[in-house]
Structure 1
Amino acid sequence: MEKEGNANGETANMEYRQRMRQYRTVSGLTHARLAPLIPCSESLVGAVERGTRPPTEPFTRGLERVFGLDGELLELLPAIRDVNPVWFRKWPAIEAAARSIRIYQLAVIPGLLQTADYARAVFEGEPGAMSGEVEKAIKARLQRQIILSQANPPSLSVILDESVLLRCIGGPEVMTAQLAYLLDMMARPYVTVRIVPLSARSTAGLIGPFVLASDDGTNAAFLENAETGEVIHQIEVMHKLNQRWELLSGLAQPTYETIKIIKRVMEA
């Protein structure tokens, strides 16, 4: 059962989006025409209206000014306090209950293994990112990492495309510290990280990142794209993702080679 706060937050978020869509439609504005009036990006307007990005106070003040409102949308913001987008809210609970987590990532270090500074650089790169919202998102991400420090942590197996190591997110100092932290986490017996080298002649990983979580026979997956994500339970999809994992696992370097690769990047 969801906590009452989350339920109220989702209700407020839904009401916010419905009112936003109603006022936009009545005003005869498309996402593209509304964006410069706020001002913000067209993609942010669409993301807030779909519920894949939470509305911020500056964004909401811009909306109210455009639509001639007097606090109608602003009063909903306190209830929309869950920093995770609607489509992600089910996943942390699944993640926390899992006994085994497998992650494939081809763009960034996975959230469970990110440092605060690296996470900050990732969040600050989002369109329309606001400092207050970024700090809340970092706090939520670090909170999720507690599962790796609890008494009986899940086994965490990560496969990364080599390009993740070469993408200098946050600058050299942030990236070096992130890679050092990655090595520290790999020293834990329940954490494994392996690299698929750029020389691997396979397109199996190019379809995008995914996460597989298992808890005593209950399986779930999380798929994410540029704007949204989805929790998956369907047997057919899970089967295909497991096949993809096995293929990527066969391409990945063993742990000792992965450690050498990471250290080589740090020294470059």
Structure 2
Amino acid sequence: MDDRIRYLLDELRLTRDARGMTQDDLAGHIPWASSTIAMIECGRRKPPPGFWDAVDGALQTGGALGRLATRLGSPQWFIDWSAAEQAAVSLRSYESLVVPGLLQTEAYARAVLTDAGLTNLEEMERRLATRLARQAVLTRADPVDLTAVLDEGLLHRPVGGPAVMREQLEALVAVGALLHVRLHVVRTTVGAYAGLNGPFVIATAADRTETGYLDNQLVGQVVDGPGNLAALQRAWEAVRSEALPQQQSTELIREVAEKWI
């Protein structure tokens, strides 16, 4: 979990304890159950809309926690998505331009961040550390179940140069061998298909709550309305239906990796 998110959740717990309130007590003052509060405090569920305002009111903080959430250097959409990603039991991811962040090697991630125009070295290193830390969802004791569909074009894009690309594709083959990871590739011969509208991720929590994530040049967008999620579900089914089976996808990734010399 990103250190800034952990700090915010720790402040929630410490503030609640300082007020002499248990999670059950807090639940009596806000429209969420103590089990939901417990999952939020340990990072297993993202705070729902209105959560920080309600908690600030119940704990009489004068809005301190809500302000803290906006002052940690992360926009609200990142805080919301990071929490949803950490709380997920399954992730369905589609990417057309670069290897998904959860699957990037350090060298590949550094090249993406550098070549994307980040000239501030300190900011680049901070984002790199955050991106690599997020990958712990794949190696923790209860790893997230990840299904990722990749457009074949990103296997051929020379991000960081041949050595970086070969290492990255070999890493994809290795992670794809994990029981909780499934990688699929959409061949370029498919032509136009739903994935060309842009990358997205659908996170499913233990209580089956779903959260969607869309990315663009400026901000990420977190969506959880039924209409938007239904549209993402349809997009997922469309891109998944165009992808190669897992074994054929792995063979293709391995074949392309060998060409990066």
TM-score (norm 1): 0.69
User: What is the one-letter code of the residue matched to 1:224?
Assistant: D
Q: % of aligned pairs identical?
A: 36
Is 2:138 the partner of 1:119? no
| 3-state SS of 2:195 partner | coil
Alpha-carbon offset, residue 90 of structure 1: 1.3
User: What is the one-letter code of the residue matched to 1:266?
Assistant: A
Note the alpha carbon deviations across 1:182-229, whole angstroms, 9 max, x for none. Answer: 111011000011000001133311110000001122010001111111
Report how many residues are paired.
196
Alpha-carbon offset, residue 85 of structure 1: 4.0
Note the alpha carbon deviations across 1:107-153, whole angstroms, 9 max, x for none. Answer: 00001011111110011022342122111111111111111111111
Q: Distance in 2 between matches of 1:86 and 1:210?
A: 18
Equivalent of 1:233 in 224, 233, 241? 224
Counterpart for residue 175 of structure 1: 165
| 3-state SS of 1:188 partner | coil
Counterpart for residue 133 of structure 2: 143
Contact 1:123 1:129 (C-alpha < 8 Å) held by counterparts: no
Note the alpha carbon deviations across 1:58-88, whole angstroms, 9 max, x for none. Answer: xxxxxxxxxxxxxxxxxxxxx9553x44431
Any stretches of 5+ residues in structure 2 without a counterpart? 12-69
User: What is the one-letter code of the residue matched to 1:263?
Assistant: R
Counterpart for residue 255 of structure 1: 246
Q: Distance in 2 between matches of 1:118 and 1:251?
A: 26
Equivalences for residues 185-264 of structure 1 within 5 A? 185-215=175-205, 216-264=207-255
For the aligned residue pairs, the C-alpha RMSD in angstroms reads 2.1
| 3-state SS of 1:205 partner | helix
TM-score (norm 2): 0.71
Distance 1:4-1:189 versus aligned 2 partners, 3 A rule: closer
Counterpart for residue 96 of structure 2: 106
| 3-state SS of 1:107 partner | coil
Alpha-carbon offset, residue 4 of structure 1: 6.2
Note the alpha carbon deviations across 1:19-78, whole angstroms, 9 max, x for none. Answer: xxxxxxxxxxxxxxxxxxxxxxxxxxxxxxxxxxxxxxxxxxxxxxxxxxxxxxxxxxxx
Counterpart for residue 142 of structure 2: 152
After TM superposition, what 4+ stretches of structure 1 lie above 2 angstroms from structure 2? 2-8, 79-82, 84-87, 126-129
Counterpart for residue 132 of structure 1: 122
Q: Distance in 1 between matches of 2:202 and 2:112?
A: 22
Contact 2:118 2:124 (C-alpha < 8 Å) held by counterparts: no
| 3-state SS of 1:206 partner | helix
Distance 1:115-1:251 versus aligned 2 partners, 3 A rule: same
Any stretches of 5+ residues in structure 1 without a counterpart? 9-78
Counterpart for residue 258 of structure 2: 267
